[in-house]
C-alpha cells in the first residue's frame, strides 16, 4: 500500500512515457522545444512494465494513466499496454494525449487493453489552435477523437485550457460541441508547470470565470461530493443531463486532501505531487538489480513523505524545476 502521513492512499499511477511532444503549446514549452532526455536516461519498455507490475501487485495501484510529453510518440506503447493488461489484478488503463496520432493507433490500443483516453483540445478554431500550439494540426486532433470514439475508448474525455485573449470566450462553444459528439469535457485551470516559468496568477482564467461563461448558455447542476470521490474534477450535469462537464481547479480550488495519485517520470523518478520539487530515484535501483521488495519499499518511503498540499496557496510557492512535459500531466 502507498499511504502517507495524512492517511491518503495512492491507487492511481500516472506514468510518463516520454518527455517529447509534437506540439509546442504556449503554456507548456517554448517554441524551440526543450533539451530532451537521452535514450539511456529513459526507462526501457521492460523497466516501465516492471515498475507498473510492482505498483499493481505489491502496492495497491488499481488505475494506470499513460502520459508524456506525448505518449503516442513512444514506439513500444501498444506492447506496454498489452503487457500491463495481462497483470493480475488487471489495472484500469487510460491515456492522456494530444490526439494527433490516435487515428492510426486507436484500434490497436483498444485491442491491447486500453480502456479510454483523455484528449487535449483547447479550441474549435483552427487558427487559434495554430497560435496556441505553434502547429497546424487541428484536423488531426478532431480525426483522432473520432477514431477513439469509434474504437470504443470511451468515455472519450476532452481536456481544455482557456488562455486570456486567445480562447477565453470559447467555453460555451466547446461544451456544445462536446455534448453533440458525446465527449466528456473537462476545463483545466492553467497551472504553473510551463518550462519558461511565465505563469502568472493574476489574469488566469479561473474556475469561477469558466462557470460564469458556461451559465450564459447552459443550466448547470452540481453533482454531489460523494459522487466525485477522489476525482480532480468538480462536475455538473448539463441542462438536466445526461451530459456532464467538469472543471479541474488545481489553483483556485485545490483538491489535495482527497489526492490518490503517485507519479512516475519517463526517467524513473517517483513524484508524490505534480508540483513537488523532490523526487525519488527508482531507475537507479532497477539498474542496480534491486529486488522487487526493495523497489516497493523505496516507493512506499517516498509516498510516506508526501506533503499535505501542493503549496499553490502559499505566497512563497516555487514552480517545479522540471516542466510538465518531463513530469507527466
Q: Which residues are annotated as a binding site for S-adenosyl-L-methionine?
A: 27, 69, 120, 191
State the binding site. 14, 21, 25, 27-28, 65, 69, 96, 120, 157, 191, 256, 259, 261-263, 273
Residue pair 23/98 in contact (Cβ under 8 Å)? The answer is: yes
SS3 content of the chain, % helix, strand, coil (to 5): 35, 15, 50
Residue with cell 488505475: 63
Tell me the C-alpha to C-alpha distance, in Å, between residue 66 and each of 15, 143, 188, 245: 5, 21, 18, 23
What length is written for the chain? 329
State the binding site for [4Fe-4S] cluster. 21, 25, 28, 256, 259, 273
Helices (H) and strands (E) in the chain, counts: 11, 14
Of the candidates 24, 84, 79, 19, the residue with the CA atom closest to the CA atom of residue 51: 84
Tell me the C-alpha to C-alpha distance, in Å, between residue 307 and each of 7, 84, 241, 264: 11, 29, 37, 17
Alpha-carbon distance 296 to 182, whole Å? 40
State the binding site for GTP. 14, 65, 96, 157, 261-263
Amino acid at each position: 500500500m502507498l499511504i502517507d502521513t495524512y492517511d491518503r492512499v495512492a491507487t492511481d499511477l500516472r506514468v510518463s512515457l516520454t518527455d517529447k511532444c509534437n506540439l509546442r503549446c504556449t503554456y507548456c514549452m517554448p517554441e524551440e522545444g526543450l533539451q530532451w532526455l537521452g535514450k539511456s536516461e529513459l526507462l526501457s519498455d521492460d523497466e516501465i512494465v516492471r515498475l507498473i507490475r510492482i505498483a499493481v501487485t505489491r502496492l495497491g495501484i488499481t488505475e494506470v494513466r499513460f502520459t508524456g510529453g506525448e505518449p503516442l510518440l513512444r514506439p513500444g506503447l501498444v506492447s506496454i499496454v498489452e503487457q500491463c493488461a495481462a497483470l493480475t489484478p488487471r489495472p484500469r488503463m487510460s491515456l492522456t494525449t494530444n490526439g494527433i496520432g490516435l487515428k492510426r493507433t486507436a484500434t490497436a490500443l483498444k485491442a491491447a487493453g486500453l480502456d479510454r483516453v483523455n484528449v487535449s483540445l483547447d479550441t474549435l478554431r483552427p487558427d487559434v489552435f495554430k497560435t496556441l500550439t505553434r502547429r497546424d494540426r487541428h484536423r488531426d486532433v478532431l480525426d483522432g477523437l473520432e477514431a477513439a470514439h469509434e474504437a470504443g475508448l470511451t468515455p472519450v474525455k476532452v481536456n481544455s485550457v482557456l488562455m486570456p485573449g486567445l480562447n477565453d470566450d470559447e467555453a460555451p462553444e466547446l461544451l456544445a460541441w462536446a455534448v453533440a459528439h458525446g465527449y466528456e469535457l473537462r476545463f483545466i485551470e492553467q497551472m504553473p508547470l510551463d518550462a519558461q516559468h511565465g505563469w502568472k496568477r493574476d489574469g488566469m482564467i479561473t474556475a469561477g470565470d469558466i462557470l460564469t461563461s458556461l451559465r450564459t448558455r447552459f443550466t448547470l447542476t452540481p453533482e454531489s461530493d460523494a459522487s466525485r470521490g477522489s476525482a480532480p474534477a468538480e462536475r455538473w450535469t448539463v441542462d438536466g443531463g445526461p451530459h456532464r462537464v467538469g472543471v479541474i481547479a488545481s489553483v483556485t480550488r485545490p483538491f489535495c486532501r482527497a489526492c490518490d495519485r503517485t507519479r512516475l517520470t519517463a526517467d524513473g523518478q517517483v513524484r508524490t505531487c505534480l508540483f513537488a520539487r523532490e523526487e525519488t530515484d527508482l531507475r537507479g535501483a532497477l539498474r542496480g538489480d534491486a529486488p522487487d521488495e526493495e523497489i516497493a519499499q523505496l516507493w512506499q518511503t517516498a509516498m510516506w513523505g508526501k506533503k499535505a498540499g501542493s503549496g499553490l496557496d502559499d505566497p512563497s510557492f516555487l514552480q517545479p524545476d522540471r516542466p510538465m512535459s518531463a513530469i507527466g500531466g
